[in-house]
């Protein structure tokens, strides 16, 4: 059986190259390229506010983006990865990544997810860059390609729960990694450079969630039984 298309939904411009690169690395690690290939033409959603807030639900944004993915040839699965730094989804309703992901799953089923294609929804906590901070030690002292600077030789990630702090992970990279970090310039480069094994050592729940989600999509393609996760 020829591999099926994995369409990725991301937050914005900076993620358009970084997330396919990360997912491609993970897919290769799991030897999943026989059943899935990454579609480099991602769909930008604008983030959680355009997915899980009352207005987003009323406007059926998620369903429309899934519909766009369905138009692509040989679709096998859709993977959403967005930052989980939204404070609330509505007045008096704090953002909960697990609850919001479950809501997306329920809505995805209304357009055929689980029957004709698979879907996984993941929110990075707090930001995608939190994962890069977790593995920044593996890049210490390295010269980045295309004259993008050199990572500080003495950089180490802060202790504690990186999914709780630093909240402004982009600013932390600029202040501590020795580069004037710009997501649209550096995110994809650092994604290709970072040692994923080092990221895993920090036991970040959202990163683990991404890995489990991708594994579930691979297994769904191999079994021929589509899934919606969570």
Q: What are phi and psi of 166, to 5 degrees?
A: -75, 140
Domains of the chain with bracketed CATH:
4-125+204-229 (3.40.50), 128-200 (no CATH)
- Check residue 92 and give its pLDDT: 83
The whole-number pLDDT of residue 115 equals 97
Tokens 């021929």 locate to: 224
Distance between CA atoms of residues 173 and 136, nearest Å: 9
Which one, of 172, 203, 177, lies nearest residue 190 by Cα?
A: 177
Other C-beta atoms within 10 Å of 101: how many? Answer: 22
pLDDT in tens, 163-205: 999 999 999 999 999 999 999 999 999 999 999 999 999 999 9
Rounded-to-integer distance, Cα 45 and Cα 65, Å: 8
Question: Is the pLDDT at 91 greater than 90, yes or no?
Answer: no
Torsion of CA 135, 139, 145, 151, to 10 degrees: 110
Mean pLDDT computed over every residue of the chain? 96
Q: Check if the beta carbon of residue 75 is closer than 8 Å to that of residue 4.
A: yes
Q: Is residue 1 predicted with pLDDT exceeding 80? A: no
Three-state secondary-structure class, residue 31: coil
CB 174 within 8 A of CB 194: no
pLDDT over 70 percentage in the chain: 100
Q: Is pLDDT above 80 for 219?
A: yes
Q: What is the mean pLDDT of residues 37-63?
A: 97
* Rounded average pLDDT over 106-125: 97
The model's pTM:
0.95
- Give the mean model confidence (pLDDT) for residues 55-71: 98
Q: First CA to last CA across the chain, in angstroms? A: 26
């Amino acid at each position: 059986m020829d591999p099926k298309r994995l369409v990725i939904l991301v937050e914005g411009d900076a993620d358009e190259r970084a997330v396919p690169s990360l997912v491609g690395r993970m897919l290769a690690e799991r030897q999943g390229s026989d059943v899935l290939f990454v579609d480099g033409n991602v769909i930008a959603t604008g983030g959680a506010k355009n997915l899980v807030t009352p207005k987003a639900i009323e406007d059926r944004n998620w369903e429309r983006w899934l519909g766009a993915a369905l138009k692509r040839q040989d679709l096998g699965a859709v993977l959403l990865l967005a930052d989980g730094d939204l404070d609330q989804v509505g007045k008096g309703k704090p953002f909960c990544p697990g609850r919001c992901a479950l809501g997306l799953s329920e809505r995805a089923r209304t357009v055929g997810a689980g029957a004709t294609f698979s879907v996984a929804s993941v929110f990075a906590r707090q930001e995608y860059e939190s994962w890069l901070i977790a593995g920044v030690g593996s890049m210490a002292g390295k010269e980045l390609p295309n004259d993008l600077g050199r990572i500080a030789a003495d950089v180490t990630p802060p202790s504690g729960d990186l999914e709780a702090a630093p909240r402004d992970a982009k600013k932390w990279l600029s202040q501590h990694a020795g580069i004037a970090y710009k997501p649209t310039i550096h995110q994809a480069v650092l994604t290709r450079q970072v040692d994923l094994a080092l990221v895993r050592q920090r036991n970040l729940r959202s990163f683990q969630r991404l890995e489990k989600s991708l594994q579930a999509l691979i297994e769904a393609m191999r079994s021929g039984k589509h899934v919606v996760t969570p």
